[in-house]
Chains A and B, each alone.
Chain A
Amino acid sequence: MTDTVLPALRSRTLVPARYRAPGDRVFKTVVVVLASGIIALALAMAVVIYLEAAPTFRAFGYVSFLTETTWDPVAAIHGALPFILGTLLTSFSALLLAVFPALGVAIFTAEYAPRWLAEIINYTVDLLAAIPSVVIGLWGIFNFAPQIRDAVYMPIYMWALEDAEWLVPIIGAPSTYNFVTATLILALMIVPYTVALSRDAIGQVPKEQREAAWALGATRWEVIRNSVLPYARTGIIAGILLSLARALGETMAVAMLIGNRNRLPFTLFGPAATMPSVIINEFREAVEPLHYSSIMAVGFYLFIVTIGINLLASWIQQKLSLTKGTL
């Protein structure tokens, strides 16, 4: 038996695997086609948007389009700076507002809360993430924005008029829909993401890592600080950056609440605008070719900014991966 089977086996195994199994080749082809298809699609989209935006770049130049502080389609002046500033300021402020409370909630549910309470909190947070942003915008428009204006912004403004006049140009006269309101709502909208992602990162920390700290005589908080957070930091930072990406791209609720003012300077309690908000507000009225191409140009820069953030995210993640570098 060995005489007949073994030589046959041998001769077959000498053939390299890639000539033997057609399944491998088929699978590889499918994967390569699909993967390159997605990349090609993204590239094609970028190219189309760029081509559509080209008249604007020709008219204003790449840089002056970015630095021009006025956007006035009637006068055919198109500058993107208000929207770029608006997007960066709302997103980063919202992130700043959201991160620490969100981390606190994540740590509390993962490490301190009894299981039933943690489940209730997690469920509520997940529910919050599932609310469509237009619904949050509606609530903001009819309820939150007018109330917070009357209860908070007006008294502050009145006080500033009396006692701190230097503040007035910074905070501005309170309008119902304004920069701070949009930022607060944006923060509220990204909290569930930051909570869920950092909670998952904390959940990934192996039991052994915690026990190692316990065994050294660490208290609960010392365990979190010495072992849990450092171990989870990559995941937490990735979660924060994903939340930032979401804030940058968030359109509906912001467009509904920010008041849409198309020129600088912005004030805290006055209307402002972001890149997504100007796109959603104006794409239907863009009959002038230059107006149309300028909206495309804003879209093109939004594309660049989000890609930049994503690249930064993966770079940070690589920098901070577990075995590389100490923090």
Chain B
Amino acid sequence: MSSVEQGQAVQSAPAYHTNDRHPAPERISGEAPRMQTDNLTVRYGVSTFGIRDVSMPVFDRRITALIGPSGCGKSTFLRALNRMHDLGADIEVSGAAYLDGENIYQPGVDPVVVRRRVGMVFQKPTPFPTKSIYENVCTGLRLAGIRRKSVLDEAVQKALSDAVLWDEVKDRLKSPGGSLSGGQQQRLCIARALAVEPEVLLMDEPTSSLDPNATMRIEQLIQQLKQQVTIVIVTHNMQQAKRVSDYTAFFYVGEMVELAPTPEIFSSPKQPRTAEYLHGTFS
């Protein structure tokens, strides 16, 4: 894409806007958004809305937690941020999602490139079971055309170290990814996503299948990653949202009800529905 087109795309990106459904506290508009959605709507088939008119920023090198009851559209929103919905039949996305000011849904954008810049970690650990640990981490790099052994070696070590897995697997890089424990597999998946140095990392309940110990390690890891990457994390665990995130967005039946700095949303939510939900889950 030429710089002229990029310039136009930047211009067409809306300023983070507020309407009655999406109240924006003045303070957070001071931060720089890395991503920004504008009336993002995802429909499954004709009648089911996954999310409806969601407009919210994702701030650069901050951790944004998405909370809300089951089925409220958290995963749907997350997957809309790297065009994973392209893969499903009968899924319709409208509205816009800007990455560095460029709408990832505008015609001519290659979703493969979007996914290289916006990585994803899933709820269930999904290592490629027949590939070795080393090759699992390499997958994204090889897809990007990197062949030099020295470059790959270095990237693998860095990604595995960043994912706090290096010490546990450095002597068995050749063994299959499926031979690790659940928590290790999830960290392997994080390493695999980190290896391609994404700008944004989307995590959908990354710790829900793990024990408290592994959960703690991954939470620490997320905190460290914040230095380099912008993170959006879906969680059902309010304590986790409180512990790790800088911002929290509350979703309810397909709408984004409230986005605020995490301490604020937990201590003094502005929206009655947020208060109700938080009250309900804490009592």
Contact = CB atoms under 8 A, between A and B. Distances in A.
Nearest to A209: B126
Interface stretch (B45-53, B63-71, B111-119, B272-280): B111-119
Tier of interface size on chain A: 20 to 34
B140 interface: yes
Given A211-B87, A215-B120, A326-B135, A230 B176 contact: no
Interface in A225-245: 226-227, 230-231, 233
Given A208-B126, A215-B119, A230 B131 contact: yes
Interface stretch (B14-22, B189-197, B234-242, B258-266): B189-197
A261 to B, nearest CB: 45
A216 B122 contact: no
A217 B178 contact: no
B135 A217 contact: no
Contacts of B120: 211, 215
A311 interface: no
Nearest to B195: A216
A227 B178 contact: no
B131 A326 contact: yes
Nearest to A215: B120
A322 B139 contact: no
Contacts of A218: 112, 139, 143
Contacts of B128: 209, 212-213, 226-227, 230-231
A219 interface: yes
Nearest to B86: A214
Given A208-B122, A323-B176, A326-B135, A217 B130 contact: no
A327 to B, nearest CB: 6
A325 interface: yes
Q: Is the interface of B mostly helix, strand, loop or mixed?
A: mixed
B212 interface: no
Given A208-B122, A219-B112, A213 B139 contact: yes
Interface string A301-327: 000000000000000000000111111
Tier of interface size on chain B: 20 to 34
Contact of B176 (A208, A227, A231, A325): A325
B126 A323 contact: no
B122 A211 contact: yes
A192 to B, nearest CB: 27
A325 B132 CA distance: 9
Contacts, number: 81
A322 to B, nearest CB: 5
Contacts of A288: none
Given A231-B128, A322-B129, A322-B130, A215 B112 contact: no
Interface string A91-126: 000000000000000000000000100000000000
A54 B174 CA distance: 52
A170 B119 CA distance: 58
Contact of A211 (B126, B139, B196): B126
Nearest to B121: A215
A222 B87 CA distance: 14
Given A211-B87, A226-B139, A323-B179, A216 B115 contact: yes
Contacts of B124: 208
Nearest to B114: A217
Nearest to B113: A217
B103 interface: no
B144 interface: yes
Contact of A323 (B115, B132, B174, B178): B178
B95 to A, nearest CB: 21
Nearest to B135: A326
Nearest to A327: B130
Contact of A216 (B113, B176, B193): B193
Interface string A196-223: 0000000000001111111111110010
Contacts of B175: 326
Contacts of A214: 84, 87, 115
B279 to A, nearest CB: 34
Interface in B172-214: 174-176, 178-179, 189, 192-193, 196
A230 B115 CA distance: 22
Contacts of A230: 128-131
B37 interface: no
A327 B139 CA distance: 15
Interface in A120-172: none
B191 to A, nearest CB: 12
Contacts of B174: 326
Contacts of B126: 208-209, 211-212
Given A208-B124, A211-B84, A326-B174, A217 B131 contact: no
Contact of A217 (B89, B144, B189): B144
A233 B130 contact: yes
Given A209-B126, A215-B115, 9 more contacts: A211-B126, A212-B122, A212-B189, A214-B84, A217-B113, A218-B139, A323-B176, A325-B176, A327-B130
24 contacts: A209-B126, A209-B128, A212-B122, A212-B126, A212-B127, A213-B128, A213-B139, A214-B87, A215-B119, A215-B120, A216-B119, A216-B143, A217-B116, A217-B196, A218-B112, A218-B143, A226-B131, A226-B143, A230-B130, A231-B129, A323-B176, A326-B131, A326-B132, A327-B130
The list of the 8 closest CB pairs from A to B, nearest first, reads A217-B116, A215-B120, A212-B126, A216-B140, A230-B130, A323-B178, A217-B115, A208-B126
